[in-house]
A and B are shown apart, each in its own frame.
Chain A
Amino acid sequence: MPARATAPLRLAGACLRLLLALTLLLGVAYPGVVLLAGRLVPERADGSPVRVDGAVVGSALLGQAVPDGPDGDAWFHPRPSAAGDGYDPLASGASNLGPSSPELLALVEERRAAVAAREGVDPAAVPPDAVTASASGLDPHVSPEYAALQVPRVARERGLPEAEVRALVEGASRGRALGFVGEPVVDVLALNVALEDAAGPAAVR
């Protein structure tokens, strides 16, 4: 009799101990280990912030909008973005427009004309990534072709020799991972930061 009466109690006790043990393991120990692991690489754990003169100007992993018109002409432009009103990090996403969508076709033509006018080139010379929005809407990269297309304008606006700007583009470039995975890219934010350093803080505005 006593054994049968205490069985449910013992079961409840075992469950309670398991609950406590798992709470400690998964609710305290595991988050603690993750937190400590993050402190080993603080820059990455904090979102890879990019600093200029100590102030955070962005994340190395996220692209940023550059203003259209004369205000943006001294900078390298990123790809078009479907995240919110463009490069909204709280609304990451793509256009999801289908391959036969007339809306997307119109957008592409509009962007092609705008880029061609901005860079002063033939519309046929505008590379694909300059007229299409990325998956995340926060693509930090452009293709080497799109970066090269922008070099003459940026050099002109900043009064820098084209060769120097081209060297900066080279510095912000990265080839395929392991030599064959993915595509070569140019990091737009890193490039713009390097550009600002090269010209000196007072050179532009």
Chain B
Amino acid sequence: MPQAAGAAMEGKEVRFGEALSALFAASTTATSTGAVNSFHDSYTAAGGGVLLLNMMLGEVTPGGVGSGLYGMLVLAVVAVFLAGLMVGRTPELLGKKIGPRQMVLVALSVLTMPALPLVGAALTAGVPALVGASVQDAGPHGLSEVLYAYASAANNNGSAFAGFGAATTYQNTALGVVMLLGRFVPVVLVLALAGSLARQTAVPAGAGTLSTRSPVFGALLAVVVVVVAGLTFVPALALAPLVEALS
């Protein structure tokens, strides 16, 4: 379609143009904001895919804002844990030991995000009646719409592929449940993690302590964000925006 029109201006205002619209869209999906100045459903397949990926990373990509901060802290614990495994020492973060109990909480928290949108989207995509009631476009773009709706709800983003008809009883209920679980399950788990860490007495940093201020740790954390959160969604992204972009 953008080739037919000459530019991807469907759903965009002239004064913003393609560049500012895309910048705003990337910012709003990466930071749990949800406001829009252009309509994401009409983005190119790859453009919409980037917005999906931004939300699927847990909206932590700029370092985390709003509820995104604890998302980043949880991933920092994962990074510390991985680093600890590599050098064969007990992982610790800010003087607190990361033990099995902490890792169970962290793992559950990290798994909440992929589980909610994928299960929710799979339920809708798997039932023909639900697809017929809500999905606007046929083919891979339709799957993108479903994925976007559930990724946005699970991350409390609020933006939408608005061609998706969310105003049905089923979608209102299912998206509402995903929204509540997506917000409060991680909150409870992170509070439990904080409580278990608070009970420990801090141990002084030793020679084997990984410095969380080094660029190495920064790089490791970035890789963890992409690997842990990103790879969970690659199969779903491959079926929806990637197929659409290549077709």
Asked if B1 lies at the interface with its beta carbon under 8 angstroms from chain A, I say yes
Residue of A nearest to B160 (CB): A96
Question: CB-CB < 8 A to B38: which residues of A?
Answer: 135
Q: How many A-B residue pairs have CB under 8 A?
A: 123
Main secondary structure of the interface of B (DSSP, over half): loop
**Beta-carbon contact of A99 and B39 below 8 Å:** no
Could you list 14 examples of A-B contacts with CB < 8 Å? Answer: A95-B42, A97-B163, A98-B1, A98-B41, A98-B42, A98-B137, A104-B10, A128-B7, A132-B7, A134-B13, A139-B13, A141-B14, A141-B15, A182-B15
**Beta-carbon contact of B6 and A99 below 8 Å:** no
**Beta-carbon contact of B20 and A181 below 8 Å:** yes
Question: CB-CB < 8 A to B144: which residues of A?
Answer: 98
Asked if B218 lies at the interface with its beta carbon under 8 angstroms from chain A, I say no
Distance of A54 from chain B, by nearest CB (Å) = 29
Interface residues of A (CB under 8 A from B): 79, 93-101, 104-105, 108-109, 126-129, 131-136, 139, 141-143, 181-183, 185
Asked if B11 lies at the interface with its beta carbon under 8 angstroms from chain A, I say yes
Main secondary structure of the interface of A (DSSP, over half): loop
Report the Cα distance A165→B9, complex, angstroms.
26
**Beta-carbon contact of A94 and B39 below 8 Å:** yes
Beta-carbon contacts under 8 Å, B3-52 to A: 4-17, 20-21, 36-39, 41-45, 48
**Beta-carbon contact of B5 and A131 below 8 Å:** yes
Given contacts A94-B39, A98-B42, 11 further A-B contacts (CB under 8 A): A95-B10, A95-B11, A98-B1, A99-B45, A104-B42, A108-B10, A128-B5, A129-B7, A132-B10, A183-B17, A183-B20
Given A94-B39, A97-B41, A98-B136, A182-B10 contact (CB < 8 Å): no
Question: CB-CB < 8 A to B200: which residues of A?
Answer: none
Given A94-B39, A94-B42, A97-B41, A135-B5 contact (CB < 8 Å): no
Question: CB-CB < 8 A to B136: which residues of A?
Answer: 96-98, 101
**Beta-carbon contact of A108 and B14 below 8 Å:** no
Asked if B162 lies at the interface with its beta carbon under 8 angstroms from chain A, I say yes
Question: CB-CB < 8 A to B99: which residues of A?
Answer: none
**Beta-carbon contact of B163 and A98 below 8 Å:** yes
B14 partner, pick from A94, A105, A109, A139, beta carbons under 8 A: A139
**Beta-carbon contact of A97 and B12 below 8 Å:** no
**Beta-carbon contact of B141 and A99 below 8 Å:** yes
**Beta-carbon contact of A183 and B14 below 8 Å:** yes
Question: CB-CB < 8 A to B139: which residues of A?
Answer: 100
Given A105-B1, A182-B20, A96-B15 contact (CB < 8 Å): no
**Beta-carbon contact of A183 and B1 below 8 Å:** no
Distance of A117 from chain B, by nearest CB (Å) = 17
Distance of B175 from chain A, by nearest CB (Å) = 17
**Beta-carbon contact of B43 and A143 below 8 Å:** no
Asked if B247 lies at the interface with its beta carbon under 8 angstroms from chain A, I say yes
Given A108-B4, A182-B15, A183-B15, A97-B10 contact (CB < 8 Å): yes
Asked if B244 lies at the interface with its beta carbon under 8 angstroms from chain A, I say yes
Report the Cα distance A133→B196, complex, angstroms.
54
Given A101-B141, A108-B1, A132-B9, A96-B39 contact (CB < 8 Å): yes
Report the Cα distance A93→B6, complex, angstroms.
22
**Beta-carbon contact of A97 and B137 below 8 Å:** yes
**Beta-carbon contact of B42 and A128 below 8 Å:** no
Given A98-B136, A99-B1, A101-B1, A134-B163 contact (CB < 8 Å): no
Report the Cα distance A142→B14, complex, angstroms.
6
Distance of A178 from chain B, by nearest CB (Å) = 12
Question: CB-CB < 8 A to A135: which residues of B?
Answer: 11-13, 21, 36-39
Given A99-B2, A108-B1, A141-B141 contact (CB < 8 Å): no
Asked if B161 lies at the interface with its beta carbon under 8 angstroms from chain A, I say yes
